Amino acid sequence: MTKYMPRAVRKTGLILFPAFDWCITPSHPEREERLLYTRDQIVEEGLEDVDGIEFFNPELAEYADIDRVHLCAPSSKALLTESHLISAGGAIRAAKAVMEKEVERAFAIVRPPGHHAMQTVFGDRGFCIANIEAIMVEHLRRHYGVRRIAIVDTDCHHGDGTQDIFYNDPDLLFISLHQDGRTLYPGSGFQNEAGGPAAQGYTINLPLPPGTGEEGFSMVTDRVVLPLLDAFKPELVLNSAGQDNHYSDPLTNMNFTAQGYARLNKAINPDICVLEGGYSIEGALPYTNLGIILAMAGLDTSNVREPDYDPRRFVQSALMNGQIEGICQNALDIFAARKKWDTGVRRGEEVVERKSIYYDTTGFGVDQVRHYKLCPDCPGYTEVEASGAGELMHGFTVPFNACSKCQQAARDAFARAAKAKGPREQVVLQDRVADIYETV
Ligand SMILES: [Zn+2]
Ligand SMILES: [Zn+2]
């Protein structure tokens, strides 16, 4: 008897890169085996034979793709391994497959992950060095002329790196659903983190209480994520599809399920998904990934269940529901007020933001000062000074949507800083309009 083979409703591309030769340490949760069970599950379910599901090899990202996004100290070449270039290249390949209409949707199931990597990079933090979504976004803008993009980060950890990179970008709506930062790494992602001075209200954090399950995720999706996507009208919706909200994940405290992930994907309906975390390599990842793939392809997901799945285990208390309702309301208020803040930007103003960034893998801190140089015609350029681990990075970033005056002002400031450069200091001009990365 031949097995019934469904046909994908939406042609969907998969890029699978388990990075077998790369890990932080052999016993580290972000290790080679993470995607082996997923690969087996894909084979077992016969997805390779489904009409309309296509497999693509990742490409190698170029250093220019990395340098368009990050300011790496001492350099991207010194910090990144080939696996990082392939992981970022896998995300880029997914974007290319969608933009060039090889498929309608694509999912980059790659590692190492990226969403904790910030604008300045001095090493590995939260298992991430290169922010693969951000690299994909700026690649899409540079090579395909895409402007407005929404990223919904559904990893259990706050996507602090992605937030940091796009903090002052009103053409990027960043929504992060995560376990409350008071209870989990990286300890950020509160609702008052709502965007830089030119993009207030375009960063939306939804810090959820530990123990949140299907009900809570449906609530924030229906009440916040979908209405915001509707209002923002992005050209593309991306999903940082971390799967560590799963009830079996060893690093987190949530109660989410494979069914939940499949429904979440169906609702958000992302054009491109990029895998982030997920450390329950046998109990969760094979099922959550399968649920997401089937949902993207428009196939039936009702049979995607963990062997020990029992919905009675995941009933939420009225107290928790009330808490989540409050979080939803705050998010809606922040987004609704976004236009008021937009008009507050005046010529010549500068806003200074200081932060300490901790690199947990090697254990050192970086002190950073960022100056937002505001402009009435564009989001303005930024100047950043960051020092740690014996390196001093002094960078000038011109965003892709900058006006020509800001581009010139950044060049002039870079030239002045290069002249005054200290002995351990690296001065960088990162101009995304001209696609230049110049370092002195
Ligand atoms: Zn995570
Ligand atoms: Zn400007």
Query: Domain locations in the chain?
Result: 7-339, 350-439
Q: What is the pLDDT of residue 29?
A: 77
Give the whole-angstrom CA distance, residue 29 versus residue 280.
9
CA of 408 to the centre of ligand 1 (A): 39
Tokens of 172: 């990027």
Give the up-direction half-sphere exposure of residue 316: CA atoms within 13 A in the CB hemisphere.
23
Residue 127 C-alpha to ligand 2 middle, in angstroms?
A: 35
Question: 115, 116, 139, 158: which is the annotated catalytic residue?
Answer: 116
If you measure from the C-alpha of residue 307 to the centroid of ligand 1, how many angstroms do you get, rounded to a whole number?
23
Q: The dihedral of CA 151, 156, 157, 158: what is its sign?
A: positive
What residue type is 260 in one-letter code? G
CA of 382 to the centre of ligand 1 (A): 28
* Distance of CA 403 from the midpoint of ligand 2 (Å): 4
Q: Which ligand is nearest to the CA of 374?
A: 2
- From first to last of the 440 residues of the chain, give the pLDDT tens digit: 345 568 999 999 999 987 666 676 777 777 777 888 888 888 888 898 999 999 999 999 999 999 999 999 999 999 999 999 999 999 999 999 999 999 999 999 998 999 999 999 999 998 889 999 999 999 999 999 999 999 999 999 999 999 999 999 999 999 999 999 999 999 999 999 999 999 999 999 999 999 999 999 999 999 999 999 999 999 999 999 999 999 999 999 999 999 999 999 999 999 999 999 988 888 999 999 999 999 999 999 999 999 999 888 889 999 999 999 999 999 999 999 997 766 666 666 889 999 999 998 888 999 999 999 999 899 999 999 999 988 999 999 999 999 999 999 999 999 999 999 998 899 999 999 999 999 99
**CA–CA gap between residue 14 and residue 8 (Å, rounded):** 13
Strands 350-359 and 364-373: antiparallel
- 116 included as an active-site residue: yes
| Long-range contacts, stretch 308-314, CB < 8 angstroms, 24+ apart | 308/283, 309/257, 309/258, 309/259, 311/214, 311/257, 313/247, 313/255, 314/213, 314/214, 314/215, 314/247, 314/255, 314/257
Q: Which helix (H) or strand (E) holds 53?
A: strand 51-56
CATH placement of domain 7-339: 3.40.800.20
Residue 266: the pLDDT is 97
pTM of the model: 0.96
Q: Cβ(48)–Cβ(4) under 8 Å?
A: no
In contact, 437 and 67? CB cutoff 8 Å: yes
**Ligand nearest to the CA of residue 241, numbered in listed order:** 1
Q: How far is the CA of 418 from the centre of ligand 1 (A)?
A: 38
Which ligand minimizes its atom distance to the CA of 375?
A: 2
pLDDT of residue 2: 42
User: What is the number of the ligand closest to the CA of 189?
Assistant: 1
